[in-house]
Amino acid sequence: VIAGGIGASKSWTAARYLVPEIVLADTLRIINGWPTTQQSLPEQIVVWLVGDTYETARTEFSYIVDTITSSPALMTLCGGWKHVHRPKDGSWTAETQHGVVIQTKSWTNEDSLNSVPVHFVLVAEAGLLPFWIWENRLVTRIGRTNGIMLLAGTFEESGPFFKDAFTRGLSRSLFRSFSMSTWDNVYRY
């Protein structure tokens, strides 16, 4: 969990956390025993950036794509972009030449959280996330790949998610967390 005050660079930090996972996809395939790009049918590595709307996770998408694009070394590691698609409405998608698919998703459109195995999930503004969606739509997707989920969000504008997670006893067993405060936020959570 990456949580903190407004303007504390949570989106940037969360996005940067995923960049090595994306550019080192072939190494991850070897470590996890997944098919590699040298084989005829490589398994796609799926990265979901999830928010209450498709637009909520676009900041993280832009940070990831722009960070990789601005570095020749990172572009070489990921094989470059097969495509980057940023339509005005709906989901943004990008795919590397090494088969990493990055998509923005909306938890209010449950159909977008279809039953594909997902390797990495980054939830933007996680404090607004309904606990049912987290438990029944997101955890079940990464459970199929033994994936990683990153929850990023602002305490000040959050709903009951963090409270519910803590109340259910998940804080000790499931979450590793840190908080980044801002000059405006002098309270410790």
Most confident among 99-113, 150-164, 173-187 (mean pLDDT): 99-113
Listed in order, strand segments (DSSP E) in 29-175 are: 45-51, 81-85, 93-96, 100-106, 120-124, 148-154
Per-residue model confidence as pLDDT tens digits over 30-44: 666 655 555 544 578
For residue 50, list its beta bridge partners.
105, 123
Q: Does 62 or 181 have the greater pLDDT score?
A: 62
Tokens of 129: 């996330």
Residue 123 has pLDDT above 80, yes or no: yes
Q: At what angle are helices 10-23 and 58-69 packed, to 10 degrees?
A: 50
Cα dihedral 88→113→49→166 (10° resolution): 140
* Average pLDDT over all residues of the chain: 79
Q: Does 61 or 99 have the greater pLDDT score?
A: 61
What's the pTM?
0.80
Which sign does the torsion angle of CA 186, 159, 93, 46 carry?
positive
Residue 69 has pLDDT above 90, yes or no: yes
Per-residue model confidence as pLDDT tens digits over 124-177: 988 888 888 888 888 888 887 778 888 887 766 667 777 677 666 655 555 555
The pairing of beta strand 81-85 with beta strand 45-51: unpaired
189 confidence band (pLDDT: 50, 70, 90):
very low
Q: What pLDDT does residue 182 have?
A: 52
Please give the Cα distance from 128 to 30 (Å, whole number). Answer: 36
Cα dihedral 8→123→150→145 (10° resolution): -160
